[in-house]
Structure 1
């Protein structure tokens, strides 16, 4: 029997079933890139009501994408549990699982910026959502870390995107200072949010810093990241950029919260803020360096294939931290150059988003992404014996080999 005859004998499944089966956790960066637009726009110096309306549109797009991705993956887990478990255990796609938590963080930040000022959401609700986020981050990060570190990985294929497994804990500090915007500094709840923000920011930053050290060793060994992994180089901007942003803003809140409760010492708030500004400035420089380090060779190293478009969303959200820090430093040092720089980077962020959303839509329409083959869907519909599952897993490992360089 010829190959064409074998293909004709394969039963056809609906496009919807192929979409659900082919969905993956790599869809969440699209929502995070959308959140990156309104987070950077919210820091523009000269803010108008029209700009706020524009940001709100992206906020609702982000919520829609979050619900779409979460619902689709839930349906996938119900209809095709073997595929859902396969994605979680996958050495490449599994690192994207924690991005559901990061997407949730962008929604909380957007809610604080657009729903609390209008009175639709109360500060008490935001405070509750903060703790939901912390618990959510812990429940996702630690199991994924146990699954991922239970297997060996080839360091010659290392990419900074592997640090996604820790990113949700690092973003606790960013969520904390946003929550503190709507909590009075003299409330006891503000102390808890401040301290938890510092603790988790420390955990997240130092863990991701270890990843960055491995990244430097890897490119010393193999040269700049290329192909799929060229996008992952921008992930290295995230830890120092977001930590700089979190430290400066948490220090600013500590400047009010610590004296209000008579904690540590009379000057503790000022000391924390001053030291946070200095540390933030150092980390900001590191983030800008990593951005340039990834951007300069990017076009020459990237493979221009439409089916790899999802990885290009790393151009957006990892850079939010240091771009937002530009505006904060402008306020601290009262330098108009920082405000202009921030505006330029925000415009570039919007342009990149429109380019990526168009290319992603084109890839989706052409079936390049989020579309499984008929035989893959049928394989997970028809029950198989444990022996067949073991043989399938062995065959997949042999076909993949040790090179997990698709991120």
Structure 2
């Protein structure tokens, strides 16, 4: 009998879960938020639909609290593991997703808490700047860490753009905040300009990432990377959505403050529609470009289920934009297609949520090996030799739900 093994201290199931938790848990909440964001844009919303939206809103808050609390416990109990996740050039790209999850909660707060009077416009305005600051102070350090490490272009996927996504979503949060603010309020102008500023910054940075992905294209992405192809839909889709809504708010805000010219607001809105329509076309192209080969390229392994949540939230932007095009052009087909995609998003969420629960129950995700927990628990523990290997040399560990052979990302 191995003496070292027999003297090894026991490791509880809870300890293995806390140690094995990762920032890749946040896409589950983002996928949950995608459901009520898409449903809230339906042309005809019945009371049962609003009840379903509210349920998903509170479920998203619960998931956000669970993920944040577990990762905080990990940082306290296993600081080496927490630091390892932050500095990892691959796994670190998921850190900004905590900010994206907060964005879905802010949008839900505006949609469901503000109309009932539970929060006021001043509180919503404060949330906007809290989100903006959170996005900036999260993205820049993670970008510094990412750019400080070499990356193999053969493994490059659009999911690397997650590092900039939170700043891009400032524009989306901005137009939602402006819905509850008086256009004559001087603070509304600040929100509008900040929304355009960060939307442009985020979109063009993520677009550069997508260009690199297209240039290095040597075949459709396979395995867990096949999920990353859907991330390319996000930047053009959310930017199209933001441009239309910010342009609509500019029609009201700019004349109220007598800025640029009397027709500036109308010009901004008209230009936004044209630009949004072109970006929407690009997002739809990326969607079909990812969807058509998806089933044949995806590895059907439950230990890679977390990556499949990319089927939901990156598509919200271009789907929600369809409803706006229906209002603008009075084309019923946009409403019908939007409703169909909303149902598909709900079905995708249901399937993914069930499969995620099964994978969690079987210990295929969010689960560390005993020796990994012990190594990060004992003061004298040192990193094993294979921890110094390049991330591109590591081999997949399917039994424990980890694929570290390359960028295991959505």
When the two structures are superposed, what TM-score results if normalisation uses the length of structure 2? 0.95
Matches within 5 A, 1:123-134: 123-134=121-132
User: 1:187-215 CA deviation, whole Å, 9 max, x = no partner?
Assistant: 10100000000000000000000011011
Aligned match of 1:105: 103
3-state secondary structure, aligned to 1:381: coil
Runs of 4+ with >6 A deviation: none
CA distance in 2, matches of 1:8, 1:397: 32
Structure 1 position 217, deviation (Å):
1.1
3-state secondary structure, aligned to 1:45: coil
Aligned match of 1:405: 407
CA distance in 1, matches of 2:12, 2:307: 27
Aligned match of 1:283: 279
Aligned match of 2:398: none
3-state secondary structure, aligned to 2:216: helix
1:191 aligns with 2:189: yes
Aligned match of 1:394: 388
CA distance in 2, matches of 1:101, 1:109: 13
CA distance in 2, matches of 1:37, 1:357: 12
The answer (yes or no) to whether the contact 2:223–2:298 under 8 Å persists in 1 is: yes
1:253 aligns with 2:255: no
The answer (yes or no) to whether the contact 1:91–1:404 under 8 Å persists in 2 is: no
1:148 aligns with 2:150: no
More helix by share: 1
CA distance in 1, matches of 2:390, 2:326: 52
CA separation of 1:268/1:118 partners in 2, compared to 1, >3 Å: closer, same or farther? same
CA distance in 2, matches of 1:208, 1:395: 29
The answer (yes or no) to whether the contact 1:236–1:290 under 8 Å persists in 2 is: yes
1:87 aligns with 2:85: yes
Aligned match of 1:228: 224
Aligned match of 1:57: 55
Q: What is the root-mean-square deviation in Å for CA atoms of aligned residues? A: 1.6
CA distance in 1, matches of 2:194, 2:57: 26
2:177 to 160, 179, 185: 179
CA distance in 2, matches of 1:163, 1:258: 32
User: 1:151-191 CA deviation, whole Å, 9 max, x = no partner?
Assistant: 10000100100000000000000000000000011110100
CA distance in 2, matches of 1:195, 1:29: 29
List runs of 5+ in structure 2 lacking aligned partners: 396-403
CA separation of 1:403/1:389 partners in 2, compared to 1, >3 Å: closer, same or farther? closer
Matches within 5 A, 1:190-229: 190-219=188-217, 222-229=218-225
CA distance in 2, matches of 1:158, 1:168: 20
CA distance in 2, matches of 1:41, 1:177: 18
3-state secondary structure, aligned to 2:277: helix
When the two structures are superposed, what TM-score results if normalisation uses the length of structure 1? 0.96
1:295 to 281, 291, 294: 291
1:117 to 110, 115, 118: 115
The answer (yes or no) to whether the contact 2:360–2:366 under 8 Å persists in 1 is: yes
Matches within 5 A, 1:2-41: 7-41=5-39
CA distance in 2, matches of 1:212, 1:121: 38
Structure 1 position 405, deviation (Å):
3.3
The answer (yes or no) to whether the contact 1:177–1:249 under 8 Å persists in 2 is: yes
1:356 aligns with 2:358: no
User: 1:318-354 CA deviation, whole Å, 9 max, x = no partner?
Assistant: 0000000000100000111100000000000000000
CA distance in 2, matches of 1:352, 1:218: 30
The answer (yes or no) to whether the contact 2:89–2:145 under 8 Å persists in 1 is: no
**How many pairs align?**
401
After alignment, is 9-18 or 59-68 more displaced? 9-18
3-state secondary structure, aligned to 1:224: coil
